[in-house]
Protein backbone atom coordinates (compact mmCIF):
# COMPACT_ATOMS: atom_id res chain seq x y z
CA UNK A 1 0.00 0.00 0.00
CA UNK A 2 1.38 3.40 -1.01
CA UNK A 3 1.01 6.15 1.58
CA UNK A 4 0.54 9.69 0.35
CA UNK A 5 3.05 12.28 1.45
CA UNK A 6 0.48 15.09 1.04
CA UNK A 7 -0.45 16.53 4.39
CA UNK A 8 -3.40 18.71 5.27
CA UNK A 9 -4.40 21.28 7.80
CA UNK A 10 -8.05 20.76 8.71
CA UNK A 11 -9.59 23.99 9.93
CA UNK A 12 -12.76 24.64 11.86
CA UNK A 13 -14.63 27.66 10.47
CA UNK A 14 -16.16 29.76 13.25
CA UNK A 15 -13.52 30.91 15.74
CA UNK A 16 -10.58 29.75 13.61
CA UNK A 17 -11.09 31.40 10.21
CA UNK A 18 -13.82 33.90 11.00
CA UNK A 19 -14.92 35.51 14.24
CA UNK A 20 -17.42 33.47 16.24
CA UNK A 21 -20.31 35.25 17.92
CA UNK A 22 -19.89 34.61 21.66
CA UNK A 23 -23.01 34.61 23.84
CA UNK A 24 -23.02 33.51 27.47
CA UNK A 25 -19.48 32.18 27.10
CA UNK A 26 -20.32 29.96 24.11
CA UNK A 27 -19.41 30.45 20.43
CA UNK A 28 -21.99 30.62 17.66
CA UNK A 29 -21.73 31.14 13.88
CA UNK A 30 -22.50 34.49 12.28
CA UNK A 31 -26.16 34.78 11.29
CA UNK A 32 -25.60 36.24 7.83
CA UNK A 33 -22.90 36.92 5.26
CA UNK A 34 -22.71 40.60 6.24
CA UNK A 35 -21.71 39.58 9.79
CA UNK A 36 -18.75 37.45 8.69
CA UNK A 37 -15.40 38.84 9.80
CA UNK A 38 -12.20 37.06 8.80
CA UNK A 39 -9.97 37.04 11.88
CA UNK A 40 -6.75 39.10 11.88
CA UNK A 41 -3.73 37.21 10.58
CA UNK A 42 -5.78 34.39 9.04
CA UNK A 43 -5.09 35.21 5.37
CA UNK A 44 -1.34 35.31 6.06
CA UNK A 45 -1.50 32.06 8.06
CA UNK A 46 -3.31 30.27 5.22
CA UNK A 47 -0.75 31.54 2.69
CA UNK A 48 2.07 30.31 4.95
CA UNK A 49 0.50 26.83 5.28
CA UNK A 50 -0.09 26.56 1.53
CA UNK A 51 3.46 27.75 0.77
CA UNK A 52 4.72 24.94 3.04
CA UNK A 53 2.80 22.46 0.87
CA UNK A 54 -0.23 21.78 3.04
CA UNK A 55 -3.70 21.17 1.61
CA UNK A 56 -6.21 23.31 3.53
CA UNK A 57 -9.60 21.80 4.33
CA UNK A 58 -12.38 23.59 6.22
CA UNK A 59 -14.44 21.15 8.32
CA UNK A 60 -17.50 22.61 10.02
CA UNK A 61 -20.53 21.38 11.96
CA UNK A 62 -23.60 23.39 10.90
CA UNK A 63 -26.58 21.86 12.76
CA UNK A 64 -28.56 25.13 12.84
CA UNK A 65 -30.03 24.33 9.42
CA UNK A 66 -31.66 21.13 10.72
CA UNK A 67 -32.69 22.96 13.91
CA UNK A 68 -34.48 25.53 11.74
CA UNK A 69 -32.56 28.51 13.11
CA UNK A 70 -30.53 29.07 9.93
CA UNK A 71 -31.07 28.64 6.19
CA UNK A 72 -28.81 26.32 4.22
CA UNK A 73 -28.24 28.91 1.48
CA UNK A 74 -26.91 31.36 4.09
CA UNK A 75 -24.47 28.79 5.47
CA UNK A 76 -23.37 27.89 1.94
CA UNK A 77 -22.85 31.59 1.11
CA UNK A 78 -20.73 32.04 4.26
CA UNK A 79 -18.70 28.92 3.44
CA UNK A 80 -18.16 30.10 -0.13
CA UNK A 81 -17.10 33.57 1.00
CA UNK A 82 -14.67 32.28 3.64
CA UNK A 83 -13.16 29.59 1.42
CA UNK A 84 -12.80 31.81 -1.65
CA UNK A 85 -11.48 34.78 0.30
CA UNK A 86 -8.83 32.63 1.97
CA UNK A 87 -8.10 30.21 -0.88
CA UNK A 88 -9.16 27.14 1.10
CA UNK A 89 -8.67 24.00 -1.00
CA UNK A 90 -11.71 22.00 0.16
CA UNK A 91 -14.81 22.45 2.33
CA UNK A 92 -16.62 19.74 4.30
CA UNK A 93 -19.88 20.41 6.14
CA UNK A 94 -21.86 18.25 8.56
CA UNK A 95 -25.52 19.28 8.53
CA UNK A 96 -26.54 16.73 11.19
CA UNK A 97 -27.53 17.16 14.80
CA UNK A 98 -25.46 15.67 17.55
CA UNK A 99 -26.73 12.19 18.20
CA UNK A 100 -27.91 11.70 14.62
CA UNK A 101 -26.78 8.45 13.09
CA UNK A 102 -23.89 10.00 11.15
CA UNK A 103 -20.13 9.70 11.23
CA UNK A 104 -19.32 13.33 10.39
CA UNK A 105 -20.55 15.43 13.34
CA UNK A 106 -17.38 16.42 15.19
CA UNK A 107 -15.93 14.92 17.38
CA UNK A 108 -16.61 12.05 14.99
CA UNK A 109 -13.92 11.97 12.28
CA UNK A 110 -16.09 11.45 9.18
CA UNK A 111 -15.40 14.78 7.45
CA UNK A 112 -11.66 14.42 7.98
CA UNK A 113 -11.60 10.77 6.87
CA UNK A 114 -13.70 11.49 3.77
CA UNK A 115 -11.45 14.38 2.71
CA UNK A 116 -8.36 12.27 3.40
CA UNK A 117 -9.60 9.47 1.13
CA UNK A 118 -10.81 11.74 -1.67
CA UNK A 119 -7.75 14.01 -1.67
CA UNK A 120 -5.16 11.25 -1.01
CA UNK A 121 -3.84 12.79 2.19
CA UNK A 122 -1.54 11.43 4.89
CA UNK A 123 -3.26 11.79 8.27
CA UNK A 124 -0.14 11.08 10.30
CA UNK A 125 1.43 14.23 8.80
CA UNK A 126 -1.75 16.31 9.09
CA UNK A 127 -3.16 18.71 11.69
CA UNK A 128 -6.57 19.88 12.88
CA UNK A 129 -6.91 23.43 14.22
CA UNK A 130 -10.02 24.22 16.25
CA UNK A 131 -11.41 26.31 19.06
CA UNK A 132 -13.73 23.74 20.64
CA UNK A 133 -13.34 20.34 22.24
CA UNK A 134 -15.21 18.75 19.31
CA UNK A 135 -12.42 19.79 16.94
CA UNK A 136 -9.74 18.29 19.15
CA UNK A 137 -11.79 15.10 19.48
CA UNK A 138 -12.18 14.86 15.71
CA UNK A 139 -8.40 15.19 15.29
CA UNK A 140 -7.72 12.43 17.81
CA UNK A 141 -10.45 10.19 16.38
CA UNK A 142 -9.07 10.66 12.86
CA UNK A 143 -5.42 10.16 13.79
CA UNK A 144 -3.96 13.61 13.15
CA UNK A 145 -2.37 16.15 15.48
CA UNK A 146 -4.57 18.71 17.25
CA UNK A 147 -3.96 22.40 17.85
CA UNK A 148 -6.42 24.17 20.14
CA UNK A 149 -7.08 27.91 19.89
CA UNK A 150 -7.94 28.91 23.45
CA UNK A 151 -10.60 31.59 23.80
CA UNK A 152 -11.76 30.72 27.31
CA UNK A 153 -15.20 29.48 26.27
CA UNK A 154 -17.31 28.11 29.08
CA UNK A 155 -17.05 24.46 28.09
CA UNK A 156 -14.75 21.66 29.14
CA UNK A 157 -12.23 20.28 26.69
CA UNK A 158 -12.46 16.54 27.18
CA UNK A 159 -9.64 15.88 24.68
CA UNK A 160 -6.06 17.04 25.10
CA UNK A 161 -4.45 18.84 22.14
CA UNK A 162 -0.78 18.60 21.27
CA UNK A 163 -0.53 22.41 21.34
CA UNK A 164 -2.57 25.33 22.71
CA UNK A 165 -2.31 28.69 20.93
CA UNK A 166 -4.02 32.08 20.81
CA UNK A 167 -4.78 32.22 17.06
CA UNK A 168 -4.28 30.61 13.67
CA UNK A 169 -1.03 32.53 13.10
CA UNK A 170 0.57 30.81 16.09
CA UNK A 171 -0.81 27.47 14.92
CA UNK A 172 0.64 27.98 11.43
CA UNK A 173 4.05 28.78 12.93
CA UNK A 174 4.00 25.51 14.88
CA UNK A 175 2.84 23.47 11.89
CA UNK A 176 5.49 24.90 9.58
CA UNK A 177 8.20 24.48 12.22
CA UNK A 178 7.45 20.80 12.77
CA UNK A 179 6.97 20.22 9.05
CA UNK A 180 10.39 21.77 8.33
CA UNK A 181 11.98 19.59 10.98
CA UNK A 182 10.41 16.48 9.48
CA UNK A 183 8.91 15.53 12.83
CA UNK A 184 5.63 13.65 13.10
Q: Any idea which residues carry the catalytic annotation?
A: 12, 14
What string of DSSP letters covers 59-89? EEE-THHHHTSS-HHHHHHHHHHHHHHHT-S
The bridge status of strand 26-28 relative to strand 163-165 is: unpaired
Of 75, 80, 105, the C-alpha closest to 91 is 80
Going by the DSSP 8-state scheme, the letter that residue 162 receives in this structure is: S
- Whether the CB-CB separation of 46 and 56 falls below 8 Å is answered with yes
With H, G, I as helix, E, B as strand and everything else as coil, classify residue 144.
coil
- Whether the CB-CB separation of 54 and 5 falls below 8 Å is answered with no
Distances (CA, A) of 89 to 113, 129, 184: 16, 15, 23
Amino acid sequence: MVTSERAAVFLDRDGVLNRAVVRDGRPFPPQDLESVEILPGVPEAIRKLKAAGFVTVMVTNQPDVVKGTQRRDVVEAINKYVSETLGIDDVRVCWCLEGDDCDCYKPKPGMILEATAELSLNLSKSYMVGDRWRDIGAAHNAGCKAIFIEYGYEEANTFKPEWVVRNLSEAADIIVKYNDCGED
